[in-house]
Amino acid sequence: MRGSLIKKLIYIILITVFLGLLGWLFIALIPDPPLTELELASKAVAQARDNNSVIYSARLFREAQSLYDSAMISWRTENSRFILFRDYERVKMFASLSQKKAAEATTNTIVRANGMRLSLKTEIESLNAEIAEFEKVFLSLPLTQETAKKHARGKLLLREAEIDFNKGQYVSGNVKVTEAKEYITASYAYARRTLEDYYKGYNRWQELVKATVDESRSTGSYAIVVEKIPGLCHLYHAGKKKYTFEAEFGSNWIGDKTSRGDMATPEGRYEVTKKLSGASTKYHKALLLNYPNKEDIEEFNYRVQNGHLPADSRIGGLIEIHGDGGKGGNWTEGCVALRNNDMDVVFRHSKTGMAVTIVGSTITLEKYLSTIN
Amino acid sequence: MKNRFFLVVATVAAVALMTSCGKVPQANIDAAVAAIDSAKTMQADIYLPGDFAALNDSLTVINQAVEAQKSKLFKNFKDVKVKADALTVVAGELAGKAVVKKDEVKAEAEALMTQAKALLEETKTLIAKAPKGKEGKAVLDEIKGEVTVIEASLTEAQTLFDGGTNYMQVLDKVKAANEALTAINTELKEAIAKVRR
């Protein structure tokens, strides 16, 4: 009886130990969940997102995110299997790759954002300098309204880019600065080209001015030299510059006059044909010039014959140096306007037949630009 | 007989204990997701991006906790349930905050727009009064062109404002226009004052 009880007790102990071992084995065989790996990956992805990798390193960030999603899907799939048959190796692999890609995106973003910040800063500074030069040099040129509008649009976009830059939004700042650059550079290039094209006549201008001044010197007479670019009218006597006055021209003053109504002031060597004052002029006092001269007529005929001007074009005339100037800007229909006081001086020293030479400038383009800057 | 009865009671109690906390609180998680979606609809991602990102981070943590519990033999989703409920509350609060923030930005944009329009009108009046000295006309023509462009930009901003999609964008646009107008305005006032002196 006692022996059988001991036997039973031994059996119970053995079964308990066996079941205990089995339970321990079962628990020991359950694989550890990849929680740490997933946590690290999600933190790395969040960090990449927070430093704007979605903008600066879009591809790497997308890859990191997609690898994280794959890790979660694999985890779910493994969890749906019998507990002892689960294998989290793929989950860990995806998580680790996701973490790596996210870290790569973060590093790449730091480098790119910094590079973009620097290049944006440089671009903004350079465009601001271009705008300042444009406004200093080209503002007085008779540019098209379209060019002026382009310049203004570029200027406003650059301001918007500056706001983005100050907020650290380098990508949208970069987009705006690129658009601003197109407008600013286009208007700058157009203005510069206009001036360069105009300056192609520089050698001829030099010859004309030299001939006029030489003639004034050799005859001891008065002569007038008008420079359009600086907007000046010089009165010479015996080859020496006696007076210099500010002058205003036709609104389309750049280039030579080609026909009636083009609002351009003619360029070349002219003479005073009539002195007008009192009731004979509405501009205080005036010196009528012999425009069109022989050269102008030849040029006009050539242009009409070659279709550069419509067949019914007219050459125009009644070009004067007159008073009522000082209005600011170039407002005449092709004449040269001086302030009344200045006109009085010029009128006093002039006589019929006096030489009047109108040119673009007596200084080179480079010198002009360096003077302004 | 008595022993067998105790065995059944013990088994039922063990199963009840093991399963009572072992069910994923899906309804609570769905409610949290819906609350986040609702916060996004209220544009929390635009007006409070940092806080909105934090919501998504919390959801990620919850999803990880769910799978972590599922990986265990004895599951316990109590913590997940608490976290999901808390997230629902926070997301709901954020949706409210986003509406407030949006209204603030809208009011700021509206005030700035009114200021810009007044500045635009003042600038136009100043242009008429501006002196036309040497190169004055050319400068004025340039200013007029610039003002036209700014006016167009303000019209664009007004269209964006009326659309109501993103008042932040409107704010940036109007700020740039306002800065440009202020610069022109100051330049004109200085030129006029110089002539009067």
Distances (CA, A) of A309 to A123, A302, A305, A315, B39: 43, 9, 8, 10, 68
B167 in Cβ contact with B104 (< 8 Å) = no
B24 in Cβ contact with B81 (< 8 Å) = no
What is the helix (H) or strand (E) element at residue A232, kind and residue range? Answer: strand A232-237
pTM for the model: 0.70
Query: Is residue B117 over pLDDT 90?
Result: yes
pLDDT digits (tens, 9 = 90+) for A346-366: 999 999 999 999 999 999 988
pLDDT digits (tens, 9 = 90+) for A134-148: 887 777 777 777 888
Query: Is residue A223 over pLDDT 60?
Result: yes
Q: How far apart are CA A176 and CA A174, in angstroms?
A: 5
The reply to whether omega before A292 is within 30° of 0 (cis) is yes
The residue ranking higher by pLDDT, A270 or A249, is A270
Q: How far apart are CA B43 and CA A169, in angstroms?
A: 19
Per-residue confidence (pLDDT) for residue B113, from 0 to 100: 94
Q: Are residues B67 and A328, on separate chains, in Cβ contact within 8 Å? A: no
Q: How far apart are CA B87 and CA B92, in angstroms?
A: 8
Distances (CA, A) of B46 to A55, A175, A260: 15, 20, 61
Per-residue confidence (pLDDT) for residue B20, from 0 to 100: 46
What single DSSP character describes residue A335? -
The encoded tokens of residue A107 equal 């590093």
pLDDT digits (tens, 9 = 90+) for A7-19: 889 999 999 999 9
Tell me the pLDDT band of A227, cut-offs 50, 70 and 90.
very high
- The β-bridge relationship of strands A355-359 and A336-337 is unpaired
Q: How far apart are CA A223 and CA B53, in angstroms?
A: 80
Domain spans of chain A, in order of start: 1-30, 204-372
Query: Is residue B6 over pLDDT 70?
Result: no
Once rounded to an integer, what is the mean pLDDT over residues A87-105?
96
Residue B56 burial (CB < 10 Å; 0-12/13-18/19+)? middle
Q: How far apart are the first and last CA of chain A?
A: 122
Q: Are residues A139 and B138, on separate chains, in Cβ contact within 8 Å? A: yes
Chain B interface disruption, residue of A75, A133, A167, A184, most B CBs within 10 A: A75
Following DSSP, what letter does each residue of A263-285 receive, concatenated? Answer: -PPP-EEEEEEEEEEGGG-SSSE
Tell me the pLDDT band of B43, cut-offs 50, 70 and 90.
very high
Query: Is residue B134 over pLDDT 50?
Result: no
**Residue among A38, A164, A330 whose CB faces B64 most closely:** A38
What is the helix (H) or strand (E) element at residue A240, kind and residue range? Answer: strand A240-246
Per-residue confidence (pLDDT) for residue A59, from 0 to 100: 96
Query: Is residue B76 over pLDDT 80?
Result: yes
Query: Is residue A367 over pLDDT 80?
Result: yes
Q: How far apart are CA B131 and CA B45, in angstroms?
A: 50
Q: How far apart are CA A147 and CA B74, in angstroms?
A: 76
Q: How far apart are CA B47 and CA B53, in angstroms?
A: 12
What is the helix (H) or strand (E) element at residue A181, kind and residue range? Answer: helix A170-198
Once rounded to an integer, what is the mean pLDDT over residues A30-43?
93
> What are the residues of chain A with a beta carbon less than 8 Å away from any beta carbon of chain B?
27, 30-33, 35, 38-39, 42, 46, 49-50, 72, 75-76, 78-79, 83, 86, 88, 135, 139-140, 145, 148-149, 151-153, 155-156, 159-160, 162-164, 231, 246, 327-331
Q: How far apart are CA B72 and CA A33, in angstroms?
A: 8
Per-residue confidence (pLDDT) for residue B14, from 0 to 100: 52
- Listed in sequence order, the residues at least 6 apart from B21 whose beta carbon sits closer than 8 Å to its beta carbon are B75, B76, B77, B78
Q: What percent of chain A has pLDDT over 70?
A: 99
Query: Is residue B197 over pLDDT 70?
Result: no
pLDDT digits (tens, 9 = 90+) for A46-56: 999 999 999 99
Per-residue confidence (pLDDT) for residue A32, from 0 to 100: 86
Distance from CA of A279 to the nearest CA of B (A): 28
Architecture in CATH of A204-372: Beta Barrel (2.40)
Per-residue confidence (pLDDT) for residue B3, from 0 to 100: 54
Q: Are residues B73 and A30, on separate chains, in Cβ contact within 8 Å? A: yes
Residues of A in contact with B177 (CB under 8 A): 156
Q: Are residues A39 and B57, on separate chains, in Cβ contact within 8 Å? A: no
Least confident of A233-237, B12-16, B135-139: B12-16
Q: What percent of chain A has pLDDT over 90?
A: 64
Chain A interface disruption, residue of B3, B59, B71, B171, most A CBs within 10 A: B71
pLDDT digits (tens, 9 = 90+) for B77-107: 999 999 999 999 999 999 999 999 999 999 9
A222 in Cβ contact with A350 (< 8 Å) = yes
pLDDT digits (tens, 9 = 90+) for A267-305: 999 999 999 988 889 899 999 999 999 998 998 899 888
pLDDT digits (tens, 9 = 90+) for B173-187: 999 999 999 989 998
Least confident of A17-31, A189-203, B120-134: B120-134
